[in-house]
A and B are shown apart, each in its own frame.
Chain A
């Protein structure tokens, strides 16, 4: 937590953000970005993009959580 507090705006683009303990949170903006661009390319009506990209964002997250659970189970099985 101290590293988070010590990091200031002057470190932006200079030093990495002290997010190594919260790295999994960084998955969210990336998935959101992919969902928005994907739906903006696919849809004809741009007014549908916010809703449709929110839906696919949740699907991506659900898929990732499922993949993580399967892999964790596999690791448990192999290391047991």
Chain B
């Protein structure tokens, strides 16, 4: 018997299915009664995510609005440029900080990563903590990976997020069509 024919008679709304799929990868299918599909997809996506973190370390997750030393980047604002003592020139300013959109533009892979769900937000929080200075050593708590050891794990986590997006869309589509058939 196929999974589609085993679906329960009460179909949750597509938005709830999509939200569940984002909260826990595969959970959208679980709500539709397709438990083996939910387990296969959920476990595979989470394995890809964890593999990415294991290969490159948790610092591969770059959180928009936080710099490499884990400091919050404020909104764009003008900062006066220091001039030599006794200077009579007009005061000069430069712009510091960045908006959220500018930051996402600098780290576009974070869009794909956050599609994996709250696990991405928790990993991002740990990454910000790990990039802050350790008061004892004066260096970042965890080292930042470079080159391929940064690129490949970012690819793993971004692909995990994109696969979860496909699963979310598919589960919501199935929920909508099951609703229509009832």
Residues 1-18 of A at the B interface (beta carbon under 8 Å): 12-17
| Complex contacts, A37 vs chain B, CB 8 Å | 40-41, 44-45, 163, 166-167
**Secondary structure call for the A interface:** helix
CA distance A35 to B143 in the complex (A): 32
Is B124 positioned at the interface, with any CB of A under 8 Å from its CB?
no
B142 touches A14 (CB 8 A): yes
A30 touches B57 (CB 8 A): no
A46 touches B37 (CB 8 A): yes
Residues 144-169 of B at the A interface (beta carbon under 8 Å): 145, 147-150, 152-153, 155-156, 159-160, 163, 166-167
| Complex contacts, B3 vs chain A, CB 8 Å | 44-46
A45 touches B167 (CB 8 A): no
B166 touches A12 (CB 8 A): no
Known: A15-B143, A37-B45. A26 touches B40 (CB 8 A): no
| Complex contacts, A40 vs chain B, CB 8 Å | 37, 40-41, 44
Is B48 positioned at the interface, with any CB of A under 8 Å from its CB?
yes
CA distance A30 to B44 in the complex (A): 10
Q: CB < 8 Å: which of A19, A41, A44, A45 contacts B55?
A: A19
| Complex contacts, A41 vs chain B, CB 8 Å | 37, 41, 166-167, 170
Name the CB-closest residue of A to B148.
A23
CA distance A17 to B40 in the complex (A): 27
Residues 33-71 of B at the A interface (beta carbon under 8 Å): 36-37, 40-41, 44-45, 47-48, 51, 53-58
B residues with a Cβ closer than 8 A to A are: 2-4, 36-37, 40-41, 44-45, 47-48, 51, 53-58, 130, 142-143, 145, 147-150, 152-153, 155-156, 159-160, 163, 166-167, 170
6 extra interface residue pairs, beta carbon distance < 8 Å, beyond A14-B130, A44-B4: A13-B54, A13-B58, A30-B155, A36-B44, A37-B163, A41-B167
Q: Identify the 7 closest CB pairs spanning chains A and B, nearest first.
A: A16-B149, A16-B145, A44-B2, A46-B36, A40-B40, A33-B48, A37-B163
A residues with a Cβ closer than 8 A to B are: 12-17, 19-20, 23, 26, 29-30, 33-34, 36-37, 40-41, 44-46, 49
27 A-B pairs whose Cβ atoms sit less than 8 Å apart in the complex: A13-B54, A14-B130, A15-B57, A15-B142, A15-B143, A16-B55, A16-B149, A17-B54, A17-B56, A17-B149, A19-B55, A20-B149, A23-B152, A29-B51, A30-B156, A33-B44, A33-B45, A37-B44, A37-B45, A40-B37, A40-B44, A41-B37, A41-B166, A41-B170, A44-B2, A46-B36, A46-B40
